[in-house]
């Protein structure tokens, strides 16, 4: 009789044969620290980059790269290993796809603080982002053979500044002002210093650039427009339901800037005001709420668009840059209700978006007013029918910016705003 090993034991054995003891030990230690933090809150804070990759802007000096005047570029893109459904990776990979479509060769350099082996992430990348043709390498095993590198976050900006080969054009694609992800402290300071490391800073939307101006005294060197996936998110015909009803919310429990606790209290109050309206939650599954909710879990973009087409309004909470959700809701004819926050309202100026005080009472009242307003179907049609910037606009602006700067001609390109001088 053959005894079958438990699934976890088989996975550990496979990992040991493939990657060796050192990689397995690092992963086990990292998971143990996470468990200790979740259960007992005894573990030390986690540093999201290796100690040797911490750079200092005062001593970070690089030689100016040589212009590449003709031919395709070899572009490296540094990011953390992506999880399915990651919005930040999805936006970043859109820029990769555009460069590939323009004939440039792209390579993803994955940065993992615990492991140098990246092969196990290839299936995730190519199954969830099938349009990508880029190869996958480790950011810690050498990044030779590229003309330009694009960092995607503050840890990868440090990695690019320290590990990129000499003579490479360095860019920093900034989707949010990341110091705001932390309380004032060491991680805040490291994230803040990432903007001073000599990379060409490219902000997604003007909000980030204005925050940089206010916090650092220097805006981003380039700004590209913030788009929406208008091909996926749209009003469906025929409609998936006879009449729109209820509200929808994207839950991210462990991302404090997305305001999970505020959203929970808001929806509890909303239920007391409009108990007949169903509350749909996707993303993280929520439990223990004192009100009824319908959990959908993680949804594919197509299924999410169906849900948006069935609902009247969506709660979209963010205390930093706006998420992808409001634009997607609008494209589907669903009214986004957002919390008032510094800078963010200047980015999303759509007349159909509803801004309310960042309190449970303020947001709940706004949601209640939206669902009670007559003419739901006519309003949805009007909202979805508005012309909005698509990600194709953002992609083209970013690609033209990379091409012009690598050619030594940092000129203004359609759809972008360039400021300052070349570093």
Tally Cβ neighbours within 10 Å of residue 373: 12
The Cα–Cα gap between 136 and 2 comes to 38
Question: How do residues 310-367 score in pLDDT, each as one tens digit?
Answer: 999 999 999 988 889 999 999 999 999 999 987 766 667 788 999 999 999 999 999 9
Question: Please, which contacts does 182-188 make with residues 24 or more away whose CB atoms are closer than 8 Å?
Answer: 187/45, 187/47, 187/48
Predicted pLDDT of residue 422: 34
| Residue range 286-302: mean pLDDT, rounded | 96
As a whole number of angstroms, the distance between CA 32 and CA 19 comes to 19
pLDDT of the residue at 345: 62
Q: What is the predicted pLDDT for the residue at 37?
A: 47
For residues 32-58, average pLDDT: 75
Is the backbone peptide bond immediately before 217 cis, with ω within 30 degrees of 0?
no
Question: Which burial class, exposed, middle or buried, applies to 93 when counting CB atoms under 10 A from its CB (0-12, 13-18, 19+)?
Answer: buried
Q: How many CA atoms lie within 13 A of 160 on its CB side?
A: 35
The region of weakest confidence among 68-72, 80-84, 133-137, 274-278 is 68-72
Q: Which comes out higher in pLDDT, residue 69 or 271?
A: 271
DSSP per-residue codes, 76-111: EEEEPPPPTT-HHHHHHHHHHHHHHHTT-EEEEEE-
Res 411 pLDDT > 90: no
Best CA proximity match to 419, nearest among 176, 175, 221, 257? 221
Cis omega (within 30 of 0) for bond into 63: no
Q: How many helices (H) and strands (E) does the chain have?
A: 14, 14
Identify the band that residue 421 occupies on the pLDDT scale cut at 50, 70 and 90.
very low
219 touches 209 (CB < 8 A): yes
**Structure confidence at residue 418 (pLDDT):** 46
Contact 231, 252 (CB under 8 A): no
What is the three-class DSSP state of 222? strand
Sequence ranges of the domains in the chain: 51-227+393-418, 247-384
CB atoms within 10 A of CB 225: 19
What three-state secondary structure class fits 157?
A: helix
> What is the reported pLDDT for 176?
94
Per the CB < 8 A criterion, the answer to whether 77 and 150 are in contact is: yes
Contact between 329 and 316 under an 8 Å Cβ cutoff? The reply is yes
| Model confidence at 25: pLDDT above 70 | no
What CATH fold (topology level) applies to the domain 51-227+393-418?
Rossmann fold (3.40.50)
Reported confidence tier of residue 70, pLDDT bands at 50, 70, 90: confident
Q: Is 69 helix (H, G, I), strand (E, B) or coil?
A: coil
Which pLDDT does position 71 carry in this prediction? 86
Domain 247-384: CATH architecture, name and number where available: 3-Layer(aba) Sandwich (3.40)
Instruction: Give the chain's mean pLDDT.
Output: 89
pLDDT for residue 43 is more than 60: yes
Residue identified by tokens 């990044």 is 143
CB contact at 8 A, 78 and 149: yes
Question: Average pLDDT of 64-79?
Answer: 89
**Residue in the structure block whose two tokens are 């992800």:** 181
What one-character-per-residue DSSP string does 237-264 give?
Answer: SS-SSSS--SEEEEE-TT-GGG-HHHHH
385 CB contacts (<8 Å, ≥6 apart)?
235
Q: Please, which pLDDT band fits residue 420 given cuts at 50, 70 and 90?
A: very low
Which pLDDT band, with edges at 50, 70 and 90, does 130 fall under? very high
- In tens, the pLDDT along 159-194 reads 999 999 999 999 999 999 999 999 999 999 999 999
- pLDDT of residue 256 exceeding 80, the answer is yes
> Do residues 113 and 49 make contact, with C-beta atoms less than 8 angstroms apart?
yes
199: DSSP letter: P
């Amino acid at each position: 009789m053959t005894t079958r090993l438990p699934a976890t034991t088989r996975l550990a054995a496979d990992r040991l044969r493939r990657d060796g003891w050192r990689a397995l030990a690092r992963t086990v230690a990292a998971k143990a620290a996470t468990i200790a933090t979740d259960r007992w809150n005894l573990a030390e804070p986690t540093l999201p980059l290796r100690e040797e990759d911490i750079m200092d802007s005062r001593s970070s000096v690089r030689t100016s790269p040589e212009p590449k005047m003709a031919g395709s570029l070899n572009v490296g893109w540094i990011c953390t290993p992506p999880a399915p459904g990651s919005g930040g990776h999805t936006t970043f990979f859109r820029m990769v796809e555009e460069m590939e479509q323009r004939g440039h060769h792209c390579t993803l350099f994955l940065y993992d603080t615990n492991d140098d082996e990246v092969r196990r992430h290839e299936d995730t990348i190519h199954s969830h982002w099938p349009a990508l043709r880029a190869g996958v390498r480790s950011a810690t095993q050498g990044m030779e053979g590229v003309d330009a590198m694009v960092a995607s976050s503050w840890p990868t900006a440090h990695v690019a500044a320290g590990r990129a080969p000499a003579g490479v054009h360095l860019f920093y694609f900034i989707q949010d002002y990341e110091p705001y992800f932390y309380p004032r402290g060491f991680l805040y300071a490291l994230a803040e210093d990432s903007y001073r490391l000599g990379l060409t800073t490219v902000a997604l939307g003007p909000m980030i650039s204005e925050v940089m101006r206010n916090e650092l005294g220097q805006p981003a060197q380039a700004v590209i427009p913030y788009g929406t996936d208008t091909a996926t998110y749209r009003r469906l015909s025929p409609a998936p339901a006879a009449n729109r009803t209820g509200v929808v919310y994207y839950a991210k429990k462990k991302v404090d800037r997305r305001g999970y606790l505020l959203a929970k209290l808001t929806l509890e109050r909303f239920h007391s005001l409009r108990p007949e309206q169903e509350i749909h939650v996707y993303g993280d599954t929520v439990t223990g709420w004192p009100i009824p909710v319908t959990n959908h879990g993680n949804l594919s973009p197509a299924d999410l668009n169906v849900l948006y087409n069935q609902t009247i309004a969506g709660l979209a909470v963010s205390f930093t840059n706006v998420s992808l959700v409001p634009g997607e809701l609008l494209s589907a004819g669903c009214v986004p209700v957002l919390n008032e926050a510094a800078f963010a309202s200047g980015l999303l100026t759509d007349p159909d978006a509803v801004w309310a005080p960042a309190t449970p009472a303020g947001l709940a009242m706004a949601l209640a007013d939206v669902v009670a307003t007559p003419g739901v179907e006519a309003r949805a049609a009007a909202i979805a029918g508005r012309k909005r910037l698509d990600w194709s606009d953002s992609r083209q602006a970013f690609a033209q910016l990379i091409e012009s700067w690598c050619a030594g001609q940092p000129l203004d390109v359609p759809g972008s705003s360039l400021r300052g001088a070349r570093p």
